Structure 1
C-alpha cells in the first residue's frame, strides 16, 4: 500500500468514494464537474490542505481523506490537523485499510508539528465512532454545523 498525496488523475476515484459510501462505483463512470475540479485545484494549491489516498500500488485508490492544517493561538500557538471525508472502498473494508489510512494521516500531522488531530463524524455512524475510539480519539466535544 502506498499512502500519498492525491493527484488530479485520482479525482474520479476520490469522487466515486465520496458519492457512494456503501457501494463500489467505477471511477470511469464518474463525471467530474467544474465544482469538483475547482475544489481539488484549490486544495492542491493550498499548503494547509491536502487530499491523501491509499493506493494499492498500481494506482488503484482504495481510500482517501482530507487533511487540513489549522494555525491557532490555543495550545501554545501550535497547528492542529482536521481530518475529513475519510472513505475506504466498500468492497475492501474490514481488512485494516481504514486503520492504515488514519495511522498514516495522524503520523503526517505529528511530523508536521501538529499537537492535536480532530475530526467530526455523523452521529448515525456508530461503527465509525467505535473505529475512531479504537485509534485513541476521545469524544471530548459536541460539534455544531450550520448548513446553507
Structure 2
C-alpha cells in the first residue's frame, strides 16, 4: 500500500468513497461538480490541509482516504492539533486492517509535523466506527456540536 497526498486525478475515487459507506461506488460513475473542484483546489493550495489516499500499489486503485487539517492553537504549548475528517475505506476492503493502517499513517504524519494532539469526530450513529477508533487508542473526551448553515 502507498499512503500519499491525493492529486486531482484521485478526486473521483475519493468522492466515490465518500458517496456511500455501505457499497462500492465506481469512480467512473462519479460526476465531479464545480463546488467539489473548488474545494479540492482549496485543500491542495492550503499548507494546513491534506487530502490523503491509501492506494493499492499493484493496480493504483484508491482504497481509502482521509483529510488532515492542522489547527494552530495556544494550548498544548502552542503546538498544532491534527483534525482527521472524511475517513473511509472502500466497502469491499474493510475488515483487513487497512483502516488501522490508514489511521496509523495519519497519526505518524501528525507526529512528524510536531502536533500535540490528533482529534476527530464521528457521527453518533456509527457505533462500529467508535469501537474502531477506541481500539486505536482514541478516547471519548468531549461532546461535539454542529450548527448547519443554510446554503
By the TM > 0.5 criterion, same fold?
Answer: yes
**In the TM superposition, what is the alpha-carbon distance from 1:20 to its structure 2 partner?**
1.2
The superposition leaves residues 2-40 of structure 1 with CA deviations (integer Å, 9 ceiling, x where unpaired) of 000000000000000001111101101100000111000
Structure 1 unaligned blocks of 5 or more: none
Structure 2 equivalent of residue 81 of structure 1: 82
Work out the CA distance in 1 between the residues paired with 2:77 and 2:113.
Answer: 15
Structure 2 unaligned blocks of 5 or more: none
1:8 aligns with 2:41: no
Give the TM-score taking structure 1 as reference length.
0.99
1:119 aligns with 2:89: no
**In the TM superposition, what is the alpha-carbon distance from 1:43 to its structure 2 partner?**
0.1
Work out the CA distance in 2 between the residues paired with 1:142 and 1:20.
Answer: 25
Work out the CA distance in 2 between the residues paired with 1:68 and 1:109.
Answer: 10
Moved segments of 4+, more than 3 Å:
none
Work out the CA distance in 2 between the residues paired with 1:98 and 1:139.
Answer: 19
**In the TM superposition, what is the alpha-carbon distance from 1:59 to its structure 2 partner?**
1.9
Work out the CA distance in 1 between the residues paired with 2:130 and 2:82.
Answer: 18
Structure 2 equivalent of residue 70 of structure 1: 71
* Secondary structure of the structure 2 residue equivalent to 1:51: strand
* Secondary structure of the structure 2 residue equivalent to 1:53: strand
The superposition leaves residues 104-139 of structure 1 with CA deviations (integer Å, 9 ceiling, x where unpaired) of 000000000001000000001000000000000000
Aligned residues: 148
